[in-house]
Structure 1
Amino acid sequence: MIVAIDVGNSRLKWGVHDGRGWRVRGTLPTAEAAALADVATGWPVQARAVACNVAGQTAEDAVTAALQGRYAVCWLRASKAACGVRNAYERPETLGADRWAALIGARSRNQSDCLVVCAGTATTIDHLDAEGVFRGGLILPGLHLMRASLARNTANLPLAEGRFCAEPRSTADAITSGCLFAQCAAITSRFISLPAGAGCLLTGGAAAVIAPYLNIPHVLEENLILDGLAHFANAQIA
């Protein structure tokens, strides 16, 4: 049994995997990581806990403290290689742990060239080739950050709750459509540079918002980072 924990900038996601699938999953605001102590009382005592963190040391310490006495957490860090994935980053250890977990999750189910897109607070767009080599990727502000930056840094643009339109005729729709166009254009431009037959896996809190407007073949993967963590933990047991 594996308990997987993804500590993101905004949300903490967790799940209990029994070797066949996710028995239960949940989320917390990362700022409320201490509440994991109460949540964990419903988890199997014999489970192994594995986690990744991009929210800083304070968040990591809060998770460790919340689970102390119940689980010894194994923190996934990016490395030169793991679980069939090789890391071609100039400094492999500086790759975000969530991106590394997503790449491991992607490799466990896809043996061809693949674009791995994590759409959360930030959007990351990573190329995993058919040999399992992470070739590099992009980081851009996520949908909410794009909208928030316009509201914060301009005098007359609101934090828009508009709708997507091909030809927007209101400011709110123009902002929402512009941000979605930007996300989709970045993903598409990377995808079309990949070899024929490549796939695209899309995960993260904003994935379902982006997916309807993405005109390339893609698969929504709700638990790709958690899947990667579970795959990594099982590899350590084997």
Structure 2
Amino acid sequence: MLLAIEQGNTNSMFAVHDGTNWIAQWRSATEPNRTADEYAVWLAQLVAMVGLELGELDACIVSSVVPQSVFNLRNLSRRYLGVEPLIIGENVDLAIPVRVSKPSEVGADRIVNAIGAHICYPGPLIVVDSGTATTIDVVAADGGFEGGAIAPGIHLSVEALHSAAAKLPRVALKKPDRVVGNDTVSAMQSGVFWGYIALVEGMITRIKAERQEDMTVVATGGIAALFHDATDVIHHFDPDVTIRGLLELYRRNSGSRP
């Protein structure tokens, strides 16, 4: 069984694939200093809840944008699974063209998303991933990664307003009923939510104009569930883009196609 680990700056996902289906997924807060032993204790309890043992996991692939965590995740796989993990950016053949000036600087999450989206959606794509940062990336019709844009995530905007302005409270992230707020909280919620929508719409419009081609837009990431139905520029909301990309990379690099 495959253990797939996708680690972002804020949250990490651990998922198990049995060769046919994903049978379990768990999320935790990203803690860069968590040791391999701590991961193992936590993970052993979770896999037991679905009737498995750590020893049944015999393959591992890791995508992480937190370099200081990779050492501990590698040791988790070596010590408790008994396998050398595949780590995006280290020992994994991406099997797609990365058409940017410095391919080594592209985050693992962006490459994995490009692969995961290309598997399901034909033609040129724009992939919007909403997390700690918002990435808006271009995937060519042949699956090649062609760059994109990185902006602050919507949660960062909320925290920045609260932290930098003495009189502004911390507000819940939600879709407001009106664009024009009638108090401070509703005004902040409108500015953050609809401002974020405007950012996404504006970037997609500019990318399409620059490339002069029709493109399918796929949104993923936890925050995308909140805003994807508030705009018509997003064609698909697909929360499984990243995990699908990890599975495909494992299959391409292991020679296994279950």
Q: TM-score, normalised by structure 2?
A: 0.82
Q: Is the 8 A contact 2:218 2:234 kept in 1?
A: no
Q: Is the 8 A contact 1:14 1:226 kept in 2?
A: no
1:174-193, aligned counterparts within 5 Å? 174-192=187-205, 193=207
Larger Rg, first or second structure (1 or 2)? 2
Cα separation, partners in 2 of 1:44 and 1:99, compared to 1, 3 Å: farther
State how far apart, in whole Å, the 1-side matches of 2:55 and 2:239 are: 23
- The share of aligned pairs that are identical, in percent, is 25
State how far apart, in whole Å, the 1-side matches of 2:70 and 2:149 are: 25
Q: Is the 8 A contact 2:228 2:234 kept in 1?
A: no
What is the total number of aligned residue pairs between the two structures? 236
2:240 is aligned to 223
TM-superposition CA deviations, 1:101-132 (whole Å, max 9, x none): 11111111122111111101111110112132
2:227 is aligned to 210
Higher mean alpha-carbon deviation, 16-25 vs 64-73, is at 64-73
Q: Which blocks of at least 5 consecutive residues in structure 1 are unaligned?
A: none
TM-superposition CA deviations, 1:112-161 (whole Å, max 9, x none): 11111110111111011213232221111111100101111112111112
Match of 1:171 among 166, 178, 184: 184
TM-superposition CA deviations, 1:2-49 (whole Å, max 9, x none): 211011111110111233331110111111844431344335625310
2:85 is aligned to 73
For the residue of structure 2 that corresponds to 1:9, the secondary structure is coil
What letter matches 1:205 in structure 2?
G
1:38 is aligned to 41
Q: Which blocks of at least 5 consecutive residues in structure 2 are unaligned?
A: 48-53
State how far apart, in whole Å, the 1-side matches of 2:220 and 2:55 are: 27
Please state which structure has a larger fraction of its residues in strand.
Answer: 1
Match of 1:47 among 30, 46, 58: 58
1:28 is aligned to 28
What letter matches 1:118 in structure 2?
D
1:84-103, aligned counterparts within 5 Å? 85-103=96-114
State how far apart, in whole Å, the 1-side matches of 2:67 and 2:124 are: 31
1:78 Cα deviation from its structure 2 partner = 8.2
Higher mean alpha-carbon deviation, 169-178 vs 139-148, is at 169-178
The CA RMSD over aligned residues, in Å, is 2.4
